[in-house]
Amino acid sequence: MNILVILRAVQDPNGFTVNRRAQKVFVNREQFMINPSDKNALEAALSLATESDTVVAVALGDAPAEDALRQARAMGAGRALLVRDATLKNADATVVAAALRHLVNHLDETKLVLLGAEVLDADLAQVGPRLAAVLDWPFIEAAHQLEIHGSTVAAIAPQPDGFHKLEADLPAVVSVAPDSNQPRYAPGAKIINVYKDKHAVETHTPADLQLTEADLTPTTEVRGESFPPEREPGKRLEGSPDELARQLAEVIRKI
Amino acid sequence: MDFTFSPEHVALRRMIREFCEEELRPRAKEVDRAGRVDPEVMRMMGSLGFFGVPFAQVYGGMGAGETGYCILMEELNRVCPSTATIVGAHIGIGAMSLYLDGSPELKRKYLPDLCAGKKIAAFALTEPNAGSDAAGIQLRATLEGDSYFLDGQKMWITNGPIADVVMTLAITDPALGARGGATVFAVEREWKGYSIGKPEKKMGLHGSPTSLLNFDEVRVPKENVVGQVGLGFVTFMKTLDVGRTSLGAATVGGGQAALEASLRWVKARSQFGRPIAHMQSIQFMLADMAAEIEALRSLVYRTAWLVDNGKPFTKEAGMCKLLGSEIASRCIDRALQIHGALGFSRDFPLERGWRDARIGEIFEGTNEIQRIVIASELLQEVGVRIRP
Amino acid sequence: MDFSLTEEQQMFRDMFRDFAEKEIAPVAEHADKTEQPPVELLKKAAAQGFLGATIPEQYGGAGMDYLTYTLLAEEIARHCLSTAITITIHTMLASMSILDAGSEGQKQKYLPRLAGGELASFALTEPDAGSDPGSLQTRARREDGTFYLDGVKTWVSNGGLAGVHVVFASTEPGKRHHGISAFLVEKDSPFVMVGHREPTLGLRAMDIRTVYFEDGHVPAENLLGPLNGGWPIVLRAFNRVRLGLAAAALGAAEGALALGANFAAERKQFGGPIAQKQAIQNYVADCAVEIEALRHLVHYTAWLADGGQDYGRYASMAKYLGARIAKDTANKMLQVHGGYGFSDEYTISRVYRDVRALRLLGGTDEIQRYAVARGIFDEKGLKIQP
């Protein structure tokens, strides 16, 4: 059985300086890394995999995505699939979910799809739920302490009222909470061998996966980026409980 | 000329750096204080293949060549010189002499465990009366039947207290002396007659254990001769050559650490109303550091390329060690000066780096010996043979 | 020009050398390894009059001139730089400031104590005021004709041993150097809290601490010198201590050279003592040359000071040069020792660690260079900034 792990290559924030006054982000050093919670997802997959499972790392994009996949192979993933195409550059969560759905269908039995719960770019956290929706699989968000029991997956996950133990039937999509485990280091010999091996990463195009034009059309459009507005200084309300309630009500009415 | 590192070397460096930041940096101060490296760190490094980086995978090594080994030494020394020294002595001179000249059987016997870090190696050349004058060694190896009996002492042996296998140079033919009558033996720590002196107290590199080794008629089977009987001196000199390149790499890391610490500090520390980064004296010190480190880095990795491509490299290796140790000392000294009084305080890591760096100009062939080696190579090229 | 020492100076020098060999040399290593200030030794030094060195006899001092003081610092530093600097800071910075700026009453009250063996400190540096003491933050608030002292001083040499602290505080915040005043604070004042000892790379037999002053009352009679007139006191103190440190550097360098030369004469490699190798000879010769040049600069500076002449620029030069020469000599002589130079069992590594401080305390190298350059450009009518 396959355990799929979705990896995103993101820019290393240590290479940025954010200048709020100039409303600019200066990139001092452009370097890419595996999105940290995707690494936690990969570690979870490697820990959960039994003798009969294969951990398959997948990523969409170019050289940084390919490098992320090689790292995953060096860490122990049995296969790595790269979906590469210029049209994927403007992919939004819907397109990514569509591509991943085709990938899942392209592969043999996949029992679990893991990905990180937070991404160091737009961090919309939509890929997981959208993928689950198009696959019609259950989705668990921000999981800690993943366990597989026969045909179910169990996890501790935050709910509006605290942490709960959740269980879902396999196959399922689970996003893994950041820092929920300690990703292993890749042994040096594996790094050397994976990076020397031209075939360590399998490359597909959207056409190979039978993605249609509709699949590849984003449903959202990025119109611009701006800094969040400065927080306005707060206002301190004073008075008796009744007066406070009255003042608060006024504030809420104005919003 | 292609000056880029291969993708596998870039990826290797990234993993090693992450390891050093996560596992070595938080422990570095305690290593210096307690005088030892955490066994857990040794175990982790072993499992990741650190102890066999340059050696072929067929022997259990990582197969990353001299370049990969230089990368390892640079990254380790950038964060914890004591740890770097343990690993460096183990790979660069200990296991290396076996790897260069050992028979396939002897290599198969020891290298897999050495590469996995299950056994630690050391290189035993120096004696109380034979330091720079390595040819003055006196430890005797007497052949009786199918064993040699080793008797004498070795001094200042890095990894002495922890080594499981010690590559030891002994005189097998006194009439020919060290140059023509010495042999390298692989000696196991458990053998009768072998004992370890108490660890040396040193100014720095507190976590790198060093000691005297005593050989009291230690019986060594013939099979444990490394290379050829009588040609041990050649084996050892060859080994030292290779080791020097990686020492140069270590000093790149040391210099780099000094520069990084300085850049952080000059941004944070203000005097006379502004960050000291704005003082020209400081700026020039930073520039000098960076220029020296860059030049050293090029020299080191070019020499590693010579090694990996089977070209002569003795002169260049000597230059790496000579310049590297002096550059690292200068850089760490500038960094200490930039930090002012805090550089003198043991609550800050600068003074530890400063103490650790000093041995660089002395061990593995003092810089005076390096100058002799380089001069010797140069003069040989014009037909003059010199003796120290 | 007469380059010879007077008979009296020679006598003093012989006495210093004798004392150093008999009393200091045997305890120096131990003091460093245990990181314990050699308190018994300092008592013996006091009994010899060394702690009252340049204090006039009328106040219980030995009445030495500056040149004689440099001989003292040199001979002590030859064996133990920690002790030499402990004494130099006590005399040149602290007690001499009381002689320099104190009222007769203050001189009568404190100088005999300090000459007799009670140590003093000079508390100027703060966490945010190192090379720029003008930015110090310790406040001395004036109220009803008395002062309230509040602040933190760091890197206070003799901080834990001192009976008296000479403390510099701002009596006019915002005026930087022109708002600094000096105060004499007794160790057992209730508001004085002495912190832990600074763990250091070298000079481990010195007592260096952080000292806290917690809004404590300092009577008006403990103001040293004029109100807001502390900075000139500091400047004159800097000149004196730089001369003293230069002399200490000279002694330390000489001690290191002796260690190296002795080792080179004994250690046999390549068929004879390593002293037979040209490289070793070059190291020894270069160090000897520099030491000789330094000696003359130190003595010249002392001669200027003894003649009442302006000597600040020379003191900066001598201190800057001395620190560098001490470092170079210790470094080269450590190299001569080979592997033994890195061993804690041989003295040279302690000397190497100790001399590293000379480029930092008493004004860093950078400050000395600035002082010298400023003096030169001042003469041309140009004011330069740090």
B64 in contact with A, Cβ within 8 Å: yes
CA nearest to C355 within chain B: B344
What is the mean pLDDT of the segment spanning C165-182? 96
Query: How do residues C271-310 score in pLDDT, each as one tens digit?
Result: 999 999 999 999 999 999 999 999 999 999 999 999 999 9
Which region among A210-224, B164-178, B238-252, B293-307 has the lowest average model confidence (pLDDT)?
A210-224
One-letter identity of residue B263: L
What is the mean pLDDT of the segment spanning B110-128? 97
Domain for residue C386, yes or no?
no
Q: Are the Cβ atoms of A188 and B18 closer than 8 angstroms?
A: no
What is the mean pLDDT of the segment spanning A243-250? 93
| A177-214 CB burial, b ≥16 within 10 A, e <16 | bbebbebebbbbbbbbbbbeeeebbeebebeebebeee
Over 90: is that where the pLDDT of C385 sits?
no
Domain for residue C331, yes or no?
yes
Same domain, C214 and C328: no
In percent, the amount of chain A with pLDDT more than 70 equals 100
A191 in contact with B, Cβ within 8 Å: yes
Q: Do chains A and C touch (3 or more CB pairs under 8 A)?
A: no
Query: How do residues A35-61 score in pLDDT, each as one tens digit?
Result: 999 999 999 999 999 999 999 999 999
Q: Which chains are within 8 Å of B by 3+ CB pairs?
A: A, C
Q: Are the Cβ atoms of B345 and C270 closer than 8 angstroms?
A: no
Contact B314, B239 (CB under 8 A): no
Domain for residue B1, yes or no?
no
Query: How do residues B228-261 score in pLDDT, each as one tens digit?
Result: 999 999 999 999 999 999 999 999 999 999 999 9
Measured between CA atoms, how close is B47 to chain A, in angstroms? Answer: 7
Same domain, B186 and B311: no
CA nearest to B59 within chain A: A189
B63 in contact with A, Cβ within 8 Å: yes
Q: What angle do CA C202, C208, C211 make, to 5 degrees?
A: 155
Query: How do residues A142-155 score in pLDDT, each as one tens digit?
Result: 999 999 999 999 99
Domain boundary among C98, C119, C140: C119
Query: How do residues C75-127 score in pLDDT, each as one tens digit?
Result: 999 999 999 999 999 999 999 999 999 999 999 999 999 999 999 999 999 99
Measured between CA atoms, how close is B132 to chain C, in angstroms? Answer: 7
Q: What is the CATH number of the domain that holds B129?
A: 2.40.110.10
Domain boundary among C165, C199, C229: C229
Supply the ipTM of this predicted assembly: 0.93
Measured between CA atoms, how close is B46 to chain A, in angstroms? Answer: 9
Q: What is the CATH number of the domain that holds C324?
A: 1.20.140.10
Same domain, C371 and C238: yes
Domain count, chain B: 3
Q: Are the Cβ atoms of B341 and C360 closer than 8 angstroms?
A: yes
B201 in contact with C, Cβ within 8 Å: yes
What is the mean pLDDT of the segment spanning A128-132? 96
d(CA C274, CA B278): 47
Q: Are the Cβ atoms of B203 and C132 closer than 8 angstroms?
A: no
CA nearest to A71 within chain B: B11
B10 in contact with C, Cβ within 8 Å: no
Contact B227, B235 (CB under 8 A): yes
Which region among A43-57, A120-134, B6-20, C359-373 has the lowest average model confidence (pLDDT)?
A120-134
- The percent of chain B in helix, strand and coil, each rounded to the nearest 5, is 60, 15, 25
pLDDT, position B244? 95
d(CA A177, CA B124): 51
d(CA A190, CA A14): 27
What is the mean pLDDT of the segment spanning C8-20? 97
Same domain, C164 and C86: no
d(CA C375, CA C373): 5
Residue-number span of the structural domain to which B369 is assigned: 234-381
Same domain, B129 and B155: yes
Q: Are the Cβ atoms of A189 and B57 closer than 8 angstroms?
A: yes
B281 in contact with C, Cβ within 8 Å: yes
Residue C353: list chain B partners with CB under 8 A. Answer: 203, 355
Over 70: is that where the pLDDT of C55 sits?
yes
Q: Are the Cβ atoms of C155 and B351 closer than 8 angstroms?
A: no
Same domain, C52 and C137: no
Domain boundary among B169, B197, B230: B230
B336 in contact with C, Cβ within 8 Å: yes
pLDDT: is C2 or C132 the higher one? C132
Interface mutation vs chain C, best among B203, B210, B372, B387, most C CBs within 10 Å: B203
Same domain, B220 and B131: yes
Over 80: is that where the pLDDT of C141 sits?
yes
Measured between CA atoms, how close is B386 to chain A, in angstroms? Answer: 43
Domain boundary among B120, B135, B154: B120
Q: Are the Cβ atoms of C356 and B271 closer than 8 angstroms?
A: no
Burial category of C274 from C-beta neighbours within 10 Å (exposed 0-12, middle 13-18, buried 19 and up): buried
Same domain, C115 and C128: no
Q: What is the CATH number of the domain that holds B245?
A: 1.20.140.10
Same domain, C104 and C175: no
CA nearest to B361 within chain C: C335
pLDDT tier at C19 (50, 70, 90 boundaries)?
A: very high
pLDDT tier at C324 (50, 70, 90 boundaries)?
A: very high
Residue B6: list chain A partners with CB under 8 A. Answer: 195
Q: Are the Cβ atoms of A192 and B64 closer than 8 angstroms?
A: yes
Query: How do residues A77-87 score in pLDDT, each as one tens digit?
Result: 999 999 998 77
B54 in contact with A, Cβ within 8 Å: no
Over 90: is that where the pLDDT of A255 sits?
no
A189 in contact with B, Cβ within 8 Å: yes
pLDDT, position B1? 81
What is the mean pLDDT of the segment spanning C171-187? 96
CA nearest to C129 within chain B: B271
pLDDT, position B9? 98
Same domain, B225 and B187: yes
Domain for residue C385, yes or no?
no
CA nearest to C126 within chain B: B341
pLDDT, position A17? 86
Residue B264: list chain A partners with CB under 8 A. Answer: none
pLDDT tier at B388 (50, 70, 90 boundaries)?
A: low
Tokens linked to A121: 């770019």
Same domain, B241 and B290: yes
Same domain, C126 and C194: yes
Same domain, B334 and B317: yes
Q: Which residues of chain C are at the B interface, by a Cβ-Cβ cutoff of 8 Å?
A: 125, 128-132, 135, 154-155, 198-202, 268-270, 277, 279, 334-335, 338-339, 341-345, 349, 352-353, 356-357, 359-361, 364-366, 369, 386
Over 90: is that where the pLDDT of C153 sits?
yes
Residue-number span of the structural domain to which C41 is assigned: 7-119
Domain for residue B273, yes or no?
yes
- The beta-carbon neighbor of B136 closest among C269, C356, C359 is C269
Over 80: is that where the pLDDT of C8 sits?
yes
Q: Are the Cβ atoms of B15 and A67 closer than 8 angstroms?
A: no
Measured between CA atoms, how close is B169 to chain A, in angstroms? Answer: 31
Same domain, B115 and B142: no
Residue C330: list chain B partners with CB under 8 A. Answer: none
- Residues of B forming the active site: 364
* CA-to-CA dists, residue A149 to A5, A109, A116, A146, C253, angstroms: 19, 17, 21, 10, 74
B132 in contact with C, Cβ within 8 Å: yes
Over 90: is that where the pLDDT of A230 sits?
no
Measured between CA atoms, how close is B356 to chain C, in angstroms? Answer: 10
- The beta-carbon neighbor of B47 closest among A187, A193, A194 is A187
Domain for residue C77, yes or no?
yes
Q: Are the Cβ atoms of B64 and A188 closer than 8 angstroms?
A: yes
Same domain, C289 and C371: yes
Domain boundary among C119, C134, C150: C119
Same domain, B173 and B183: yes
- Give chain C's mean pLDDT: 97
d(CA B301, CA A63): 25
- The beta-carbon neighbor of A188 closest among B7, B12, B18 is B12
Same domain, B366 and B294: yes
Q: What is the CATH number of the domain that holds C29?
A: 1.10.540.10
Same domain, B64 and B158: no
Which region among A79-88, B38-47, B199-208, B359-368 has the lowest average model confidence (pLDDT)?
A79-88
Q: What is the CATH number of the domain that holds C140?
A: 2.40.110.10
Same domain, C212 and C321: no
Over 90: is that where the pLDDT of A221 sits?
no
d(CA A107, CA B341): 63
Query: How do residues B37-89 score in pLDDT, each as one tens digit?
Result: 999 999 999 999 999 999 999 999 999 999 999 999 999 999 999 999 999 99
Domain boundary among B120, B149, B168: B120
Same domain, B221 and B131: yes
Same domain, B29 and B78: yes
pLDDT, position A159? 86
Give the list of residues 6+ apart from residue B44 with CB closer than 8 angstroms, or none: A185, B19, B23
Q: What is the CATH number of the domain that holds B65?
A: 1.10.540.10
Interface mutation vs chain B, best among C156, C266, C269, C346, most B CBs within 10 Å: C269
Same domain, C243 and C350: yes
Domain for residue B2, yes or no?
no
A29 in contact with B, Cβ within 8 Å: no
Domain for residue C1, yes or no?
no
Give the list of residues 6+ apart from residue B206 with CB closer than 8 angstroms, or none: B31, B32, B33, B34, B35, B82
Over 70: is that where the pLDDT of A65 sits?
yes
Task: Note which residues in 272-301 of chain B have CB less than 8 A from chain A.
Answer: none
Domain count, chain C: 3
pLDDT, position A27? 87
d(CA A4, CA A38): 11
Q: Are the Cβ atoms of A188 and B53 closer than 8 angstroms?
A: yes
Same domain, C27 and C96: yes
Domain for residue B168, yes or no?
yes
